[in-house]
Amino acid sequence: MTDAHAAPRGVGVVVVAAGSGSRLGAGRPKAFVPLGGRPLLDWALEGVAAVAGLRSVAVVVPAELVDADGWAGVALPPGATVVAGGAERTESVAAGLAVLDPACDVVLVHDAARCLTPVSVFDRVVEAVRAGADGVVPGLAVVDTVKTVDTEGYVTGTPDRSGLRAVQTPQGFPRDVLLGAHASGMVATDDAALVERTGHRVRVVEGDPLAFKVTTPDDLARAERLVARA
Ligand code: CTP
Ligand code: MG
């Protein structure tokens, strides 16, 4: 029996914001790029602060920014801990997990770059973890036909689109399951992959188009249009 089945003790959120933002190319770490006059990270933390049952928040940023100025406009949730990230996203998540309040029974990992994620997505993920899942990811049906290819660019297959989902964050786990997956020392582009590889079943709940990741300048322009309209 995992912690998720015991009395709820609170939700911990690791917000990963330690990437460089090379594809955005804005000349500074992506989480500190302004969106509607506020850093992306501030938008992301506004969503996190509204999570029901929130107990602990770890904000993982580039090492050079942990003690630096340049935090103007970022409102940290009360009691949040700021910690330096690593070269890989997996390392950044592990750094956040290490400082999260160990009393949290549910842990969410969230990309700061998904800065406009509605709180309803967080709540759906927490609810599914509390209902007993070992891992929960928000996902959307894939609209394009997807091909697998070899190193020369030749198509090796066309998976049935109805069985594919594009997954987002926050991804949620009982704390012990996520710690165990990270202790394996494996690296992946998301946390669910580590949990899958350690033999657990991960459930998909409905994602939200607004949980898109700001990756390219086009994505930032889309985010600017959305916040201007709000
Ligand atoms: N991230 C992190 N530590 C890393 C790499 C990524 O905390 N070493 C975080 C990013 O800050 C982001 C999320 O993981 O919130 C998703 O990563 P991505 O969109 O790839 O962001 P970047 O790595 O910053 O962008 P790029 O790959 O274009 O450099
Ligand atoms: Mg990256």
Q: Is the CB of 85 under 6 A from ligand 1?
A: yes
> pLDDT digit string (tens) for 93-125?
999 999 999 999 999 999 999 999 999 999 999
pTM over 0.85: yes
CA of 113 to the centre of ligand 1 (A): 7
State the Cα–Cα distance between residues 217 and 127, nearest whole angstrom. Answer: 34
pLDDT at 230: 77
Structure tokens at 81: 């801990």
pLDDT average per 10 residues of sequence, the chain (230 residues): 66 98 96 96 98 97 86 88 96 97 97 98 98 98 96 97 97 97 93 96 98 98 94
Structure tokens at 116: 């406009």
Between the CA of 17 and the centroid of ligand 1 the distance, in Å, is: 7
CA 44 vs CA 19, 27, 70, 141, 149: distances in Å: 14, 20, 17, 24, 35
Residue of 82, 89, 182 to test ligand 1 pocket, by largest number of atoms within 8 Å of CB? 89
Give yes or no for a cis peptide into 170 (omega within 30° of 0): yes
Q: Is 112 in the pocket of ligand 1 (CB under 6 A)?
A: yes
Give the pLDDT score at 79.
84
What CATH class has 11-136+167-229? alpha beta
The verdict on the CB of residue 110 being under 6 Å from ligand 1 is no
> Which ligand 1 atom minimizes the distance to the CA of 114?
15
